[in-house]
Structure 1
Amino acid sequence: MYSISEIAEKVDISAHTLRYYEKEGIIDPVRNENGIRQFDEHHLQWLQFVKKLRETQMPVSQIKEYTRLFLEGEHTANARLRLLEDHQQFIRDQIETLLGTDDMLSKKISIYKELMEKSMMK
């Protein structure tokens, strides 16, 4: 079992964020007899997944919806699949945009480098 500070360090998120996720129903830590939050390996894996979703700009509202569906059980598998497929398409669209921007920037950088080389030759 991990304390809130230990799990926060392992996942590289703040204890404040963990408390927020608990408040929003995204995570449900076990409480010991003193009321102290404790996290296990399942929580660790779940939080790593949630972190990846957040890093790829999935809104907390969608993560909450995914969590709700997950907790409802297997009969929600299609809805969870659609949610994840939609997010994957969002990520792919972002990658396409970023690659296009990277290409444009590479061309612009080449132009500036050429200009600088020409001005140094004079």
Structure 2
Amino acid sequence: MYTISEVAKLLDVSTHTLRYYEKENIIIPDRNENKERLYSDMHLKWLKFVMKLKQTQMPIAKIREYARLFEEGEHTTQARLELLENHLLSIQNQLETLASTEKMLEEKINKYREFINQSKSETVK
């Protein structure tokens, strides 16, 4: 079991973030006799998944919904699948946008480099 500080350090997040996830019912840590939060390896695995969802722009409301569905049990499997499939489509759209933006930026950068190199060679003449 890990304390909130240990988990924060392991995952490179703040304790505030972990408390926020708890407030949003995204994670419910265990408690010891002093009411201090304790996290298991399963909690860590879940938090790593949550952080990947967040890094890929899944809104907290959707993460909360997924967590709620998971807690409700196996009868929500189809709804969880659909939620993750929709998020995968969103990621794929993000990748397409990033790829086209990367291409545009590379073209623009190359034009600037060409212009700068051409200006330098004309100055030398």
TM-score (norm 2): 0.96
Partner of 1:113: 113
Partner of 2:80: 80
- Return structure 1 stretches of 4+ with deviation > 3 angstroms: none
Deviations 1:51-92 (A, max 9, x none): 000001101100000000000111111100000000010011
Partner of 2:6: 6
Q: CA RMSD in A?
A: 0.6
Structure with higher Rg: it is 2
Partner of 2:104: 104
Kindly state the Cα deviation for residue 4 of structure 1 after the two structures are TM-superposed: 0.2
Kindly state the Cα deviation for residue 23 of structure 1 after the two structures are TM-superposed: 1.0
Instruction: Please give the residue correspondences for 1:15-26 in structure 2 after superposition, counting only pairs within 5 Å.
Output: 15-26=15-26
SS at match of 1:91: helix
CA distance in 1, matches of 2:37, 2:26: 14
Q: Percent identity among equivalent residues?
A: 56
Question: What letter corresponds to residue 43 of structure 2 in structure 1?
Answer: H
TM-score (norm 1): 0.98
Question: What letter corresponds to residue 15 of structure 1 in structure 2?
Answer: T
Instruction: Please give the residue correspondences for 1:37-52 in structure 2 after superposition, counting only pairs within 5 Å.
Output: 37-52=37-52
Q: Runs of 5+ in structure 1 lacking a partner?
A: none
Partner of 1:66: 66
Equivalent pairs counted in the alignment come to 122
Partner of 1:36: 36
Q: Runs of 5+ in structure 2 lacking a partner?
A: none
Question: What letter corresponds to residue 9 of structure 2 in structure 1?
Answer: E
Deviations 1:20-49 (A, max 9, x none): 111111101110000000001000000000
Kindly state the Cα deviation for residue 9 of structure 1 after the two structures are TM-superposed: 1.0
